[in-house]
């Protein structure tokens, strides 16, 4: 049978564990003084509230993008609600972490990013406007052709009757 080497006195205890019993008691007492369960609970609740608020902001942003897409691309366009929620909760910690500001490595390029975004939005809206104008022109041409066809059919009928 194997026997363990157990310390016999405080000196041996300090050597084995690296600290004395008095230091251990002082450490435990300091923990009791510092730890406040209500503060820990409040901090957790506050963090949850911040995450929910950030997720809500992102979700509103996604709904805005969805509405823009409906107007520009197709009236029946929709984001998958389940996927939108997942995206909102995946991005929310970043909003909380950076306080709604871009990360430091990105901040120095914000002017460039905003310029590209503005040019992209202008390009997209211009493309959509041209597409709408072409659709209106096509519809006007179709109506004109239908009107001529109806007039021609009416003229043929009038000539037959006469």
Q: pLDDT tens digits for 31-45?
A: 655 556 666 567 778
Distance CA 119, CA 19 (A): 65
pLDDT < 50 stretches in the chain: 13-15
Q: What pTM value is reported for the model? A: 0.49
Listed residue (140, 137, 141) closest to 129, CA to CA: 137
For residue 127, how far is the Cα from the chain centroid? 26
pLDDT of residue 138: 94
To which residue do tokens 């709904």 refer? 63
């Amino acid at each position: 049978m194997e026997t363990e080497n157990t310390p016999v006195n405080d000196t041996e205890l300090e050597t084995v564990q690296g600290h004395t019993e008095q230091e251990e008691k002082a450490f435990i007492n300091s923990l009791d003084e510092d730890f406040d369960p209500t503060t820990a609970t409040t901090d957790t609740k506050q963090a949850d509230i911040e995450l929910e608020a950030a997720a809500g902001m992102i979700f509103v942003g996604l709904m805005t993008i969805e509405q823009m897409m409906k107007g520009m691309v197709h009236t029946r366009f929709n984001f998958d609600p389940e996927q939108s929620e997942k995206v909102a909760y995946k991005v929310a910690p970043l909003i909380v972490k950076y306080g709604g500001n871009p990360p430091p490595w990105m901040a120095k390029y914000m002017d460039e990013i905003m310029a590209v975004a503005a040019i992209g939005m202008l390009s997209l809206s211009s493309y959509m406007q041209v597409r709408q104008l072409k659709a209106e022109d096509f519809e006007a041409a179709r109506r004109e052709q239908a009107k001529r066809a109806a007039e021609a059919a009416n003229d043929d009928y009038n000539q037959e009757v006469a």
